[in-house]
Chain A
Protein backbone atom coordinates (compact mmCIF):
# COMPACT_ATOMS: atom_id res chain seq x y z
CA UNK A 1 0.00 0.00 0.00
CA UNK A 2 1.43 3.36 -1.02
CA UNK A 3 1.89 5.88 1.76
CA UNK A 4 1.07 9.55 1.94
CA UNK A 5 2.90 11.45 -0.79
CA UNK A 6 4.00 15.06 -0.49
CA UNK A 7 5.78 17.45 -2.82
CA UNK A 8 8.02 19.27 -2.99
CA UNK A 9 10.27 17.86 -0.26
CA UNK A 10 12.18 21.11 0.14
CA UNK A 11 11.40 24.71 -0.75
CA UNK A 12 13.33 27.92 -0.21
CA UNK A 13 11.61 31.25 -0.83
CA UNK A 14 12.01 34.86 0.16
CA UNK A 15 9.59 36.58 2.49
CA UNK A 16 6.46 37.98 0.86
CA UNK A 17 6.61 35.33 -1.88
CA UNK A 18 3.92 32.68 -2.21
CA UNK A 19 4.32 28.91 -2.02
CA UNK A 20 2.13 25.85 -2.42
CA UNK A 21 2.43 22.32 -1.10
CA UNK A 22 0.71 19.23 -2.45
CA UNK A 23 -0.47 16.10 -0.65
CA UNK A 24 -1.82 12.80 -1.97
CA UNK A 25 -3.30 10.75 0.88
CA UNK A 26 -3.52 6.99 1.13
CA UNK A 27 -6.17 5.71 -1.24
CA UNK A 28 -9.59 5.58 0.37
CA UNK A 29 -8.68 7.73 3.37
CA UNK A 30 -11.50 10.19 3.97
CA UNK A 31 -9.74 12.32 6.58
CA UNK A 32 -6.78 14.52 5.69
CA UNK A 33 -4.71 16.73 7.99
CA UNK A 34 -2.12 19.45 7.49
CA UNK A 35 0.32 20.04 10.36
CA UNK A 36 3.03 22.64 10.83
CA UNK A 37 6.14 21.56 12.73
CA UNK A 38 8.49 24.35 13.74
CA UNK A 39 12.01 23.30 14.72
CA UNK A 40 12.11 22.07 18.31
CA UNK A 41 8.32 21.80 18.58
CA UNK A 42 5.76 19.10 17.97
CA UNK A 43 3.42 19.09 14.97
CA UNK A 44 0.54 21.58 15.24
CA UNK A 45 -2.70 20.94 13.38
CA UNK A 46 -3.48 23.64 10.82
CA UNK A 47 -6.52 22.18 9.11
CA UNK A 48 -8.48 18.92 9.00
CA UNK A 49 -10.68 17.77 6.11
CA UNK A 50 -13.35 15.11 6.12
CA UNK A 51 -13.72 14.22 2.42
CA UNK A 52 -13.74 17.71 0.85
CA UNK A 53 -15.27 19.51 3.83
CA UNK A 54 -13.35 21.38 6.54
CA UNK A 55 -13.74 19.91 10.04
CA UNK A 56 -11.28 22.12 11.94
CA UNK A 57 -9.29 25.12 10.75
CA UNK A 58 -9.16 26.97 14.06
CA UNK A 59 -5.35 27.22 14.04
CA UNK A 60 -4.95 28.15 10.37
CA UNK A 61 -3.74 31.77 9.90
CA UNK A 62 -6.42 32.54 7.39
CA UNK A 63 -5.01 35.93 6.41
CA UNK A 64 -2.13 34.18 4.65
CA UNK A 65 -2.79 30.42 4.62
CA UNK A 66 -5.37 28.61 2.54
CA UNK A 67 -6.05 24.96 1.84
CA UNK A 68 -8.36 22.98 -0.35
CA UNK A 69 -9.13 19.36 -1.01
CA UNK A 70 -10.60 19.00 -4.44
CA UNK A 71 -12.89 16.02 -4.97
CA UNK A 72 -12.03 14.75 -1.52
CA UNK A 73 -8.68 13.28 -2.57
CA UNK A 74 -5.55 15.42 -3.15
CA UNK A 75 -5.00 18.57 -1.15
CA UNK A 76 -2.96 21.75 -1.52
CA UNK A 77 -1.82 24.15 1.19
CA UNK A 78 -0.84 27.67 0.12
CA UNK A 79 0.94 30.48 1.91
CA UNK A 80 0.65 33.98 0.48
CA UNK A 81 2.58 36.06 1.40
CA UNK A 82 5.15 34.07 3.40
CA UNK A 83 6.77 35.40 6.56
CA UNK A 84 10.04 34.41 8.19
CA UNK A 85 8.16 32.62 10.99
CA UNK A 86 6.54 30.29 8.45
CA UNK A 87 9.83 28.39 8.16
CA UNK A 88 8.88 24.89 9.25
CA UNK A 89 8.16 21.37 8.07
CA UNK A 90 4.64 20.99 6.72
CA UNK A 91 3.30 17.51 7.30
CA UNK A 92 0.30 15.95 5.64
CA UNK A 93 -1.44 12.98 7.25
CA UNK A 94 -4.46 10.87 6.38
CA UNK A 95 -6.67 8.38 8.13
CA UNK A 96 -9.59 6.16 7.21
CA UNK A 97 -11.70 7.85 9.86
CA UNK A 98 -11.47 10.76 12.26
CA UNK A 99 -10.56 8.53 15.22
CA UNK A 100 -8.39 6.06 13.32
CA UNK A 101 -4.62 5.93 13.05
CA UNK A 102 -3.07 8.87 11.23
CA UNK A 103 -0.41 8.07 8.63
CA UNK A 104 2.05 10.85 7.92
CA UNK A 105 3.86 11.81 4.76
CA UNK A 106 7.57 12.75 4.76
CA UNK A 107 6.82 16.47 4.94
CA UNK A 108 7.89 19.57 3.03
CA UNK A 109 10.66 21.60 4.61
CA UNK A 110 10.05 25.31 3.94
CA UNK A 111 12.74 27.92 4.49
CA UNK A 112 11.72 31.56 4.25
CA UNK A 113 14.65 33.99 3.86
Chain B
Protein backbone atom coordinates (compact mmCIF):
# COMPACT_ATOMS: atom_id res chain seq x y z
CA UNK B 1 0.00 0.00 0.00
CA UNK B 2 2.00 2.93 -1.36
CA UNK B 3 0.36 5.98 0.23
CA UNK B 4 2.94 8.41 -1.19
CA UNK B 5 4.06 7.97 -4.78
CA UNK B 6 6.72 9.60 -6.89
CA UNK B 7 6.07 8.23 -10.33
CA UNK B 8 9.16 9.62 -12.02
CA UNK B 9 12.26 7.64 -11.01
CA UNK B 10 14.54 10.19 -12.62
CA UNK B 11 14.63 13.70 -14.10
CA UNK B 12 17.35 15.37 -16.14
CA UNK B 13 17.48 19.15 -16.66
CA UNK B 14 19.92 21.74 -17.93
CA UNK B 15 21.60 24.14 -15.54
CA UNK B 16 19.59 27.34 -15.20
CA UNK B 17 16.30 25.74 -16.20
CA UNK B 18 13.40 24.78 -13.95
CA UNK B 19 13.21 21.36 -12.27
CA UNK B 20 9.74 20.10 -11.36
CA UNK B 21 9.42 17.05 -9.14
CA UNK B 22 6.01 15.55 -8.54
CA UNK B 23 4.40 13.57 -5.73
CA UNK B 24 0.93 12.06 -5.28
CA UNK B 25 -0.68 10.77 -2.10
CA UNK B 26 -3.77 8.76 -1.27
CA UNK B 27 -4.28 9.20 2.49
CA UNK B 28 -6.73 12.03 3.24
CA UNK B 29 -5.41 12.22 6.81
CA UNK B 30 -2.07 13.64 5.69
CA UNK B 31 -1.89 17.30 6.68
CA UNK B 32 1.80 18.13 6.41
CA UNK B 33 4.17 17.48 3.55
CA UNK B 34 7.94 17.65 3.30
CA UNK B 35 10.67 17.33 0.72
CA UNK B 36 14.02 15.80 1.60
CA UNK B 37 17.21 15.80 -0.43
CA UNK B 38 19.72 12.96 -0.30
CA UNK B 39 23.29 12.80 -1.57
CA UNK B 40 25.07 9.42 -1.95
CA UNK B 41 26.37 7.94 1.31
CA UNK B 42 24.58 10.60 3.35
CA UNK B 43 21.27 10.66 5.18
CA UNK B 44 18.33 12.67 3.84
CA UNK B 45 18.28 16.36 4.76
CA UNK B 46 15.16 18.48 5.11
CA UNK B 47 14.56 20.89 2.25
CA UNK B 48 11.13 22.50 2.48
CA UNK B 49 7.66 21.75 3.82
CA UNK B 50 4.06 22.82 3.47
CA UNK B 51 1.02 22.57 5.68
CA UNK B 52 -2.32 21.52 4.23
CA UNK B 53 -3.77 24.93 5.05
CA UNK B 54 -1.51 26.48 2.41
CA UNK B 55 -1.15 25.89 -1.31
CA UNK B 56 2.34 27.32 -1.77
CA UNK B 57 5.53 27.79 0.20
CA UNK B 58 8.74 29.40 -1.03
CA UNK B 59 12.29 29.28 0.22
CA UNK B 60 14.82 30.85 -2.09
CA UNK B 61 15.07 28.81 -5.27
CA UNK B 62 12.69 26.17 -3.92
CA UNK B 63 8.89 26.35 -4.06
CA UNK B 64 6.44 23.64 -3.06
CA UNK B 65 2.88 23.65 -4.39
CA UNK B 66 0.04 21.66 -2.86
CA UNK B 67 -3.21 20.75 -4.63
CA UNK B 68 -5.34 19.10 -1.96
CA UNK B 69 -8.26 18.26 -4.21
CA UNK B 70 -5.93 16.36 -6.54
CA UNK B 71 -3.82 14.99 -3.65
CA UNK B 72 -0.77 16.22 -5.49
CA UNK B 73 2.27 18.25 -4.60
CA UNK B 74 5.24 19.43 -6.57
CA UNK B 75 8.67 20.89 -5.90
CA UNK B 76 9.98 23.56 -8.24
CA UNK B 77 13.67 24.46 -8.32
CA UNK B 78 14.50 27.66 -10.21
CA UNK B 79 17.15 28.07 -11.45
CA UNK B 80 18.53 24.54 -11.24
CA UNK B 81 22.22 24.16 -10.37
CA UNK B 82 24.56 21.17 -10.76
CA UNK B 83 24.81 20.99 -6.94
CA UNK B 84 21.08 20.22 -6.86
CA UNK B 85 21.80 16.81 -8.38
CA UNK B 86 20.58 14.34 -5.74
CA UNK B 87 17.69 12.06 -4.86
CA UNK B 88 14.58 13.95 -3.76
CA UNK B 89 12.04 12.31 -1.46
CA UNK B 90 8.52 13.50 -0.85
CA UNK B 91 7.17 12.69 2.63
CA UNK B 92 3.82 13.12 4.34
CA UNK B 93 2.60 13.18 7.91
CA UNK B 94 -0.84 12.75 9.47
CA UNK B 95 -1.95 14.81 12.45
CA UNK B 96 -2.51 11.72 14.58
CA UNK B 97 0.68 9.93 13.64
CA UNK B 98 3.04 11.06 16.44
CA UNK B 99 5.20 12.62 13.75
CA UNK B 100 5.55 9.47 11.65
CA UNK B 101 6.69 10.24 8.10
CA UNK B 102 5.61 8.22 5.06
CA UNK B 103 8.07 8.58 2.19
CA UNK B 104 7.75 8.25 -1.57
CA UNK B 105 10.19 6.20 -3.61
CA UNK B 106 12.36 9.15 -4.56
CA UNK B 107 13.29 10.90 -7.82
CA UNK B 108 16.89 11.14 -9.00
CA UNK B 109 17.51 14.67 -10.27
CA UNK B 110 20.49 15.29 -12.53
CA UNK B 111 21.34 18.88 -13.45
CA UNK B 112 23.73 19.12 -16.40
CA UNK B 113 26.16 22.06 -16.67
**Nearest CB in chain A: distance from B17 CB, A:** 26
**Nearest CB in chain B: distance from A44 CB, A:** 7
Provide the residues of chain B in CB contact with A102, threshold 8 Å: 46, 99, 101
Closest residue on chain B to residue A98 by CB atoms: B99
Contact across chains for A56 and B42 when beta carbons are under 8 A apart: no
Contact across chains for B43 and A101 when beta carbons are under 8 A apart: no
Measured CB to CB, the residues of A under 8 A from B are 4, 31, 40-45, 48, 50, 55-56, 91, 93, 95, 97-107
- Which segment of B53-61, B78-86, B103-111 sits at the interface? B103-111
Contact across chains for A104 and B44 when beta carbons are under 8 A apart: yes
Instruction: List the 10 closest pairs (A to B, CB-CB), nearest first.
Output: A104-B43, A42-B103, A98-B99, A99-B99, A98-B98, A55-B98, A43-B103, A104-B44, A105-B43, A42-B105
**Nearest CB in chain A: distance from B87 CB, A:** 9
B55-113 contacts to A (CB < 8 Å): 89, 91, 93, 97-106
Contact across chains for B43 and A4 when beta carbons are under 8 A apart: yes
The listed residue (B46, B97, B100, B104) touching A42 by CB distance below 8 A is B104
Contact across chains for B43 and A42 when beta carbons are under 8 A apart: no
Instruction: Using known A-B contacts A102-B46, A106-B43, determine if residue A40 contacts B105 with beta carbons closer than 8 Å.
Output: yes
Provide the residues of chain A in CB contact with B4, threshold 8 Å: 42
